[in-house]
Chains A and B, each alone.
Chain A
Amino acid sequence: IQLTQSPSFLSASVGDRVTITCRASQGISSYLAWYQQKPGKAPKLLIYAASTLQSGVSSRFSGSGSGTEFTLTISSLQPEDFATYYCQQLNSYPHTFGPGTKVDIK
């Protein structure tokens, strides 16, 4: 299963509402996760099962979607949110990742 993400790069300001889309080449039910990765660090799990917030993650992050189209929304971008975001499907092996969306400061 191939995953695509759009946009691949996003320039935004603190306080902006940001939406990232992940599309799967075939239906994956709700078996999608979102990660945040900062330079030199391991990815951090944000969302699983498409819309379930991982414990300890800020509620400004939310996820939605099912089937082939999913979105990650950051309701009000904070300075610590500037990072690269990846989706991952867990519906079937191999558990592929999307190519990533880099969120940069405008």
Chain B
Amino acid sequence: QLQLQESGPGLVKPSETLSLTCTVSGGSITSSDSYWGWIRQPPGKGLEWIGHIYYSGSTYSNPSLKSRVTISVDTSKDQFSLELTSVTAADTAVYYCARRGVLIQLPFDSWGQGTLVTVSS
């Protein structure tokens, strides 16, 4: 059974870079039928799609986050990562990693438990 687990600092200072890693187990990140994505949820609010990556490195990120987002993959470790630069309090959220199928109609079907990242000095 596929499992995803987020890891990274729970507290980040304003203007610094948020860095999270998602470790995939029970399956391979090089699976040809999977995209690996990030979603976030500010406390008490709705879900925001951040972006996703294919194991080859092909990515797409939400334009609302402009050039602050980088999603990368490390196939040797079955991990993919999120970096968000120049964070502010508005980036405080639970960050989820998830897996979706590559066909257009296939949404996120496996999720990590989520990790709360607070931006505060």
> Chain A: residues with CB nearer than 8 A to chain B?
30-31, 33, 35, 37, 41-45, 48-49, 54, 86, 88, 90-91, 93-100
Contacts and interface: CB of A to CB of B under 8 A. Distances in A.
B107 interface: yes
Given A45-B108, A90-B104, 10 more contacts: A31-B104, A42-B96, A42-B98, A42-B112, A94-B60, A95-B49, A95-B107, A97-B47, A97-B48, A97-B49
In this complex, the interface size class of chain B, counting residues with CB under 8 Å from chain A, is 20 to 34
Interface in B95-121: 96, 98, 104-109, 111-114
B49 A42 contact: no
Interface of B: 46-49, 51, 60, 62-64, 96, 98, 104-109, 111-114
Contacts of B51: 94
